[in-house]
Amino acid sequence: MKHSFSTSVTKRDHNNRGIEWTATCGRHAKWTGATYEQVEDSWRQHYYDATGTAPDPMGDKTNRWMPSEVSA
């Protein structure tokens, strides 16, 4: 099974800033969150659960999810 990642902004505020994001992993999983980082971290956790490795985060790097053996 492939674990591709794609995102889209599903809601914007009055300044055209993304306030709701949707991410998908192929056709088998989907997440919604207020920021790109939230949906990317959900996908990274999913990827880790499936493969045992996690892709490095993109976007803001502070306070991001990391696999337990890396963040310990």
Give the model's confidence band at 20: pLDDT under 50 very low, under 70 low, under 90 confident, else very high: very high
Residue 11 has pLDDT above 90, yes or no: yes
The average pLDDT across 41-66 equals 94
Per-chain mean pLDDT for the chain: 92
The residue range of the domain holding 20 is 1-54
Burial of 52 (0-12, 13-18, 19+ CB in 10 A): exposed
Does some domain include residue 66? no
Domain count of the chain? 1
Does some domain include residue 70? no
Residue 26 has pLDDT above 50, yes or no: yes
Residue 51 has pLDDT above 70, yes or no: yes
Does some domain include residue 35? yes
Gyration radius (Cα) of the chain, Å: 13
Cα(55)–Cα(20) distance, integer angstroms: 22
Q: Which comes out higher in pLDDT, residue 71 or 41?
A: 41
Does some domain include residue 69? no
Residue 37 has pLDDT above 70, yes or no: yes
For the chain, how far is it from start to end, CA to CA, in angstroms? 29
